[in-house]
């Protein structure tokens, strides 16, 4: 047994220092992904920014690199990546490793909504939602884990699921909800698969946040705040602490967790 005493750990054991780590963030051109990339770099990680909109990624990389070295901040590179293209996914990991070093933090953030009734969806849209929301995280997780296993290095994988995993009220996003439940279950199974190698796999289930994705939803349904328990919609910065908890060195014993972050939105319509 490990009888390590409390004296071997800082008080509190809550470090978020990511110096020397290499993170790959998908969907980094806007919303959660953009914020996650900034936060990881601010704590010293080098960050591979992945998405289709390369112009946005390059602008973000330039901004991060201008601050690199300040208070231990890390650098960034932009990688064009279509999440439906398996070769592009593998190439993104290869490029990140070649330019920055072995990827030991993966943030599977990219996702798209369906915004349609299930029986009205075209096959092309079905394939795209499944491809971006589930197939891509699976391929990336396995590619990153394969390299970590070969190098005998630990790692952290964080999957961005959704509170749609817990509840769906029939608003026209059934497939989206299905993929987010699958992503939560993938988190649990892969955490078991790689536990022996100290590769932690966890998930965050955000509720409704202000992002580019929800902007379109707000246009369709109107202002949601009156329906919410706290009469507000949180912003991506309010996810920082959860992200850093799951990727930081202090959470090495946390794997297979699925954490809901919804500002009490689950209480809506129950008051």
Contact 142, 189 (CB under 8 A): no
176 as an active site residue: the answer is yes
Catalytic residue among 168, 176, 196, 245: 176
- Cis status, amide bond into 196, omega within 30 of 0: no
CB neighbourhood size of 203 (10 A): 27
User: What is the C-alpha R_g of the chain?
Assistant: 18
Q: Residue 106: helix, strand or coil by DSSP? A: strand
Q: 11 burial class (0-12, 13-18, 19+ CB within 10 angstroms)?
A: exposed
* Distance separating alpha carbons of residues 215 and 218, to the nearest angstrom: 5
Q: Residue 206: helix, strand or coil by DSSP? A: strand
Query: Residues with catalytic annotation?
Result: 176
């Amino acid at each position: 047994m490990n009888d390590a005493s409390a004296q071997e750990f800082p008080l509190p054991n809550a470090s978020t220092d990511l110096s020397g780590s290499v993170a790959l963030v998908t969907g980094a051109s806007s919303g959660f992904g953009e914020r996650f990339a900034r936060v990881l770099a601010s704590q010293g990680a080098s960050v591979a920014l992945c998405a289709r909109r390369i112009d946005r990624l390059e602008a973000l990389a330039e901004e991060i690199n201008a601050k690199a070295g300040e208070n231990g901040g890390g650098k960034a590179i932009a990688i064009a990546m279509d999440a439906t293209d398996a070769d592009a996914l593998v190439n993104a990991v290869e490029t990140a490793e070649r330019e920055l070093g072995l990827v030991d933090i993966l943030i599977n953030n990219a996702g798209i909504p369906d915004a349609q009734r299930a029986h009205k969806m075209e096959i092309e849209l079905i394939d795209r939602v499944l491809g971006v929301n589930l197939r891509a995280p699976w391929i990336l997780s396995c590619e990153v884990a394969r390299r970590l296993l070969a190098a005998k290095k630990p790692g952290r994988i964080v999957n961005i699921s959704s509170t749609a995993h817990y509840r769906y009220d029939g608003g026209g996003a059934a497939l989206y909800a299905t993929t987010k439940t699958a992503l939560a279950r993938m988190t649990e199974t892969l955490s078991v698969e790689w536990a022996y190698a100290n590769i932690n796999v966890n998930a965050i289930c955000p509720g409704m946040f202000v992002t580019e994705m929800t902007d379109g939803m707000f246009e369709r349904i109107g202002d949601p705040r009156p329906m919410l328990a706290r009469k507000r919609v949180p912003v991506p910065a309010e996810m920082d602490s959860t992200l850093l908890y799951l990727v930081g060195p202090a959470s090495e014993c946390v794997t297979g967790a699925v954490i809901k972050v919804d500002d009490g939105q689950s209480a809506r319509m129950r008051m």
